[in-house]
Amino acid sequence: MATFTTACPLDCPDTCSLSVDVDDQGRLADVDAAPGNPLTQGYICHKVKHHARRVYAPERVRTPLVRVGPKGEERFREATWDEALDLVADRLQEAMGGDGGPAGVLPYVYNSSAGAVASAALTPLLFARLGVPEVAHTICAATAGQAWDDTFGDMLSADPLDVSHAGLVVVWGANPTVSNTHLLPLITEAKRNGARLVVIDPRRTGVAHRADLHLAVRPGTDVALAYALARLLRERGAVDRAFCDDHASGVEEYLTAAEEWSLRRAAEVCGVAAEDIDELATMIATVRPGFLRLGWGPERNRNGGSSCRAILGLWVLAGQFGRRGSGVMASLSGTAPLSTAGLVAGVRPPPAGCVNMNRVGAILCGEEPGASPARVLFVQGANPAATAPDQLTMLRGLAREDLFTVVHDQVVTDTARYADVVLPATTHFEADDVAASYGSFVLQRVTAVIDRVGESRTNDEVAAGLAVRLGLDPSEFDPDPRILLDRMSTDGAVAPLRVLREPGATVQFVDTLPTFADGRARLVATDSELPLPRYRALDSGYPLTLISPATAKTINSMFAEFDPPRAVLSIHPDDAEPRGLVDGATIRVWNDQATLELPCRLDVTMRPGVCAMPKGLWLRSLPGGVTANGLAPATVSDLAGGACFNDARVDVAMAPESEAVT
């Protein structure tokens, strides 16, 4: 047995340092936390602790596979890499030479759980060189990220390690208990030091349970809440005029827009008690320093951009910056000294344009005005059959007999079942890379610690194999991670673990400033598609809102193949009772897009009017083969075309022939 240190690049803010035991056959034996990481030392999550189960799972792809049965039936034969890559290269060439030109190919490439090299290096370069459309990464964080950019430019996030210095901690639409677990002990420490804790979330989450104040807002109404709080600050003379005079623009326009939001109106629209809004305004006005953790809950609906912008603007009005323990923590990405500028030098924007990832299902079905349905779909580091909105449209697209689908993944996902060619991918235990965290100022080496499973190849090796076959310059496509890292590193120094910024050294408006010419935060962004936050009504013919947040069991859809969260609909007893729903009974949940049957769980932590299903379920977790994503709309938010997973409207009833299942 030998022990190695590496890092976890999965799509989670924490980016844990890992200590890995490898047996004398070169196989992964055990995974645990490694010391030395200021955020993650001490423990790791249950999923990655047992990651070996996924690395050697029966679903693991070991060789290239070529489809021999009908689409979706998962009947494949093994193939050599040469045969598979020749076939894929031929089909790419054919599709690009067809009527649609380069638009005949859609690269659905996401790789948010891969290291920085695997996600940013040669695959994007390959498709950029081919000039095919770019599929923009809008299914997560596009809206919140644009809201940040509009308000602060490239100003850095606050450092989570500073939260223990806060007097007030506001967790707004984030669920650190499951999706950022190492933030939780830091919040607990802040509480121990006397901090007040406020949580704004439609559910009484683990962290909400421990809060001094929990505002269970209706999803999609945060903009109203933020405006009402801003108006209260103004009425009480609690806008920090000195801070705003020095550091903000657009203050008067923002406050004028907020005038519409009386306490009474906001309480009604958000579905929370006026006294609670009032109490929060008092805390924001009087308790300093105040630390805001903005999560990704508020962005995933039609008002997502407005909500994120209004929340950030509120923190500026309150002047909650300038001291350790103040400021806003959002994504910490962008700090790492990595850049693809050198890699893509000379690459022009795709002549075939850019498409929205949320609309790919509709595009494949020929239902997107102005977009030609692709002939080749290349999926890498993503599982759209399980994770995209409007699942039935996506599945209809994937089932098209005339669509040639390539899936490069570690396991035979729901999407891979529809593939014509499946290519085996390495896991992060099998290849060198780096992991840049979006939840701490830490950059780490990811090391190949075990032998490759089967014939798996890295993303860069696949891109290189296709590039030579498509006549591109092989010198540009050397997949050696050391060479790629050299090309991407802006300062040459990738140590096993590098703390990029020491705790206390990232005080916003002191150490890091908005990056606009005047150095000010913008409450109005005239060059944005959304100059000022505004509320759009949430009218619908369906009475309930369905949200589908993260659970501790999966990272998106990863791990759900063998240890899924329970496929149940959580609903408040007040919504269940008039519908005659009993705990554990099979219920039907439906809207215009889909109908699902599954057990219901009566759950007092839900707010009435809102029900929930877990994110990341595989299709086989439900008898009908449709998950929450079947009910989620493929409409887009009001900023940056972001996903609206939490904007589903549904109704629920007992299933016609339901029996109690628990």
Closest CA to 547 of 608, 612, 618, 633: 612
Q: Could you tell me what percentage of the chain is helix, strand and coil, using 3-state DSSP and rounding each to the nearest 5?
A: 30, 20, 50
User: Could you say whether residue 388 binds Mo ion (CB under 5 A)?
Assistant: no
Choose from Mo ion, ligand MGD, none: what does 648 bind? Cβ within 5-8 Å by kind: none
Considering CB under 6 A, how many residues would be counted as binding ligand MGD? 62
The three-state secondary structure class of 240 is coil
User: Could you say whether residue 549 binds ligand MGD (CB under 6 A)?
Assistant: yes
Using only the alpha carbons of the chain, give its radius of gyration.
24
Closest CA to 17 of 409, 434, 332: 434
| Cα–Cα distance for residue pair 129/629, rounded to 1 Å | 33
The three-state secondary structure class of 552 is coil
Choose from Mo ion, ligand MGD, none: what does 306 bind? Cβ within 5-8 Å by kind: none
Contact letters for Mo ion, residues 137-176 (x by CB under 5 A): ---x------------------------------------
Q: Are 469 and 85 in contact (CB under 8 A)?
A: yes
Q: What's the min distance (Å) between Cβ of 611 and Mo ion?
A: 21
| Cα–Cα distance for residue pair 267/270, rounded to 1 Å | 5
Of 112-131, binders to ligand MGD (CB under 6 A) are: 112-114, 118
Only one of the segments 105-113, 188-196, 256-264, 272-280 lies at the binding site for ligand MGD (rule: CB under 6 A); that segment is 105-113
User: Could you say whether residue 201 binds ligand MGD (CB under 6 A)?
Assistant: yes
Choose from ligand MGD, Mo ion, none: what does 552 bind? Cβ within 5-8 Å by kind: ligand MGD
Nearer to Mo ion, 132 or 558 (CB): 558
**What does the DSSP assignment read for 287-336?**
SSSEEEEE-STTTSSTTHHHHHHHHHHHHHHTT--SSTT-EEE---TT-S
Closest CA to 5 of 14, 13, 16, 17: 17
User: Could you say whether residue 645 binds ligand MGD (CB under 6 A)?
Assistant: yes
Which helix (DSSP H) or strand (DSSP E) does residue 283 occupy?
helix 274-286
Tell me the sheet residues that pair with 329: 293
User: Could you say whether residue 556 binds ligand MGD (CB under 6 A)?
Assistant: yes
Closest CA to 333 of 485, 176, 435, 439: 439
Between strands 134-136 and 248-249, the pairing is: unpaired
Only one of the segments 135-143, 146-154, 545-553, 644-652 lies at the binding site for Mo ion (rule: CB under 5 A); that segment is 135-143
Of 604-643, binders to ligand MGD (CB under 6 A) are: 615-616, 628-629, 632
| Cα–Cα distance for residue pair 204/25, rounded to 1 Å | 47
> According to CB under 6 A, which one of 151, 393, 646, 658 is a site residue for ligand MGD?
646
Contact letters for ligand MGD, residues 422-451 (x by CB under 6 A): ---x--------------------------
Q: What's the min distance (Å) between Cβ of 596 and Mo ion?
A: 23
Q: Which tokens sit at 105?
A: 């190919």
User: Could you say whether residue 109 binds ligand MGD (CB under 6 A)?
Assistant: no
Burial of 250 (0-12, 13-18, 19+ CB in 10 A): buried
User: Could you say whether residue 120 binds Mo ion (CB under 5 A)?
Assistant: no
Q: What's the min distance (Å) between Cβ of 119 and ligand MGD?
A: 7
Nearer to Mo ion, 5 or 180 (CB): 180
CB environment 385-423: b (16+ within 10 A), e (fewer): bbbbbbbbbbbebbebeebbbbbbbbbbbbbbbbbbbbb
Only one of the segments 124-132, 177-185, 279-287, 633-641 lies at the binding site for ligand MGD (rule: CB under 6 A); that segment is 177-185
> According to CB under 6 A, which one of 550, 619, 644, 655 is a site residue for ligand MGD?
550
Closest CA to 326 of 131, 536, 510: 510
> According to CB under 6 A, which one of 5, 6, 143, 175 is a site residue for ligand MGD?
175
Nearer to ligand MGD, 358 or 658 (CB): 358
Q: What's the min distance (Å) between Cβ of 212 and Mo ion?
A: 29
Which positions lie near ligand MGD, rule CB under 6 A? 11-12, 110-114, 118, 139-141, 172-175, 178-180, 200-203, 205, 217, 219-220, 222, 295-298, 301, 380-384, 387, 408-411, 413, 425, 459, 547-550, 552, 554-558, 615-616, 628-629, 632, 645-646
Site residues (vs Mo ion, CB under 5 A) = 140
